[in-house]
């Protein structure tokens, strides 16, 4: 395959992965969205408060209503 670059299987799979959950509390963003606000979701579940890695994604989720994001979504800069 000249001209086509293939990622190793693991890297290819990771490039397709979406951020869609708070790993620390083991809750998906779709479930957390039902709380209506970030503050209510945090109060009820503790999401976004342990490692805080998902916090920008949670803020973006409550702002847009989307529940899955690319790891490097450019909109995250507005929610850091």
pTM score, whole prediction: 0.80
Residue of 7, 67, 65, 61 whose CA lies nearest to 76:
61
pLDDT score for 16: 74
DSSP E strands: which ranges in the chain?
21-22, 27-28
d(Cα 78, Cα 74) in Å, to the nearest integer? Answer: 8
CB neighbours of 71 closer than 8 A, spacing ≥ 6? 17, 18, 19
**Given a cut of 60, is residue 21 above it in pLDDT?**
yes
* 42-64 pLDDT per residue, tens: 999 999 999 999 999 999 999 99
- The structural domains of the chain, with segments of one domain joined by +, span 19-79
In a 3-state reduction of DSSP, which class is residue 31? helix
């Amino acid at each position: 395959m000249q001209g086509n670059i293939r990622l190793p299987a693991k890297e290819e799979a990771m490039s397709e992965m979406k951020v869609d959950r708070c790993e620390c509390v083991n809750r998906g963003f779709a479930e957390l969205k039902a709380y209506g606000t970030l503050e209510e979701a945090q109060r009820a579940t503790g999401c976004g408060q342990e490692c805080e890695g998902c916090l920008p994604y949670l803020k973006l989720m409550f702002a847009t209503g989307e529940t899955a994001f690319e790891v490097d979504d450019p909109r995250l800069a507005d929610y850091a």
